[in-house]
């Protein structure tokens, strides 16, 4: 336990993210056998348009716009990898931590259009006011 800690860049990328999601990600990293980085959290509308334009997102109503979503990158041997397996393994840990904390989340890997690095607080439990 306590093997991994977020880098300064990951901590900066968590700025503006909902505290419950930060708690899930932080506690998950503390117990995870796989290192991961926070690649993106809160996005401006302009940044969301860029992400849509390059095909990395398909919605203008992203949870990133309100700080209710993060994208992570699995880190193996100091490099971010995109193979699905580490993300599937991480999802089990992150979902369990969220469940233990009673914080409802969704994993993009469970979606029809898979987004394996994406986690968000559920719309149901965290509606926009």
User: What DSSP letter does each residue of 65-113 carry, written as one string?
Assistant: GGT-EEEEEEEETTEEE--HHHHHHHHHHHHHHHHHTT--EEEGGGSSS
Residue 119 is predicted with a pLDDT of 98
Residue 72 is predicted with a pLDDT of 98
Mean pLDDT of 30-34: 96
| Domain boundaries 8-121, CATH class | alpha beta
Closest CA to 74 of 42, 40, 117, 125: 117
Q: What is the value of pTM for the model shown?
A: 0.94
Q: What is the overall mean pLDDT for the chain? A: 94
Of residues 58 and 17, more confidence is placed in: 17
Q: Where are the domains of the chain?
A: 8-121
The predicted-structure confidence for 62-92, as pLDDT tens digits, reads as follows: 999 999 999 999 999 999 999 999 999 999 9
């Amino acid at each position: 336990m306590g093997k991994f800690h977020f880098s300064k860049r990951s901590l900066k990328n968590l700025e503006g993210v909902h505290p419950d999601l930060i708690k899930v990600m932080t506690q998950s990293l503390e117990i995870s056998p796989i290192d991961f980085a926070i690649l993106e959290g809160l996005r401006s509308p302009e940044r969301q348009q860029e992400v849509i334009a390059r095909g990395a997102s398909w919605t203008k109503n992203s949870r990133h716009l309100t700080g209710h979503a993060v994208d992570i990158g699995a880190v193996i041997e100091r490099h971010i990898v995109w193979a699905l397996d580490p993300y599937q393994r991480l999802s089990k840990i992150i979902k369990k931590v969220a469940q233990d904390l009673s914080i409802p989340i969704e994993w993009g890997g469970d979606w029809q259009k898979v987004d394996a690095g994406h986690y968000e607080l559920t719309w149901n439990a965290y509606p926009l006011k």
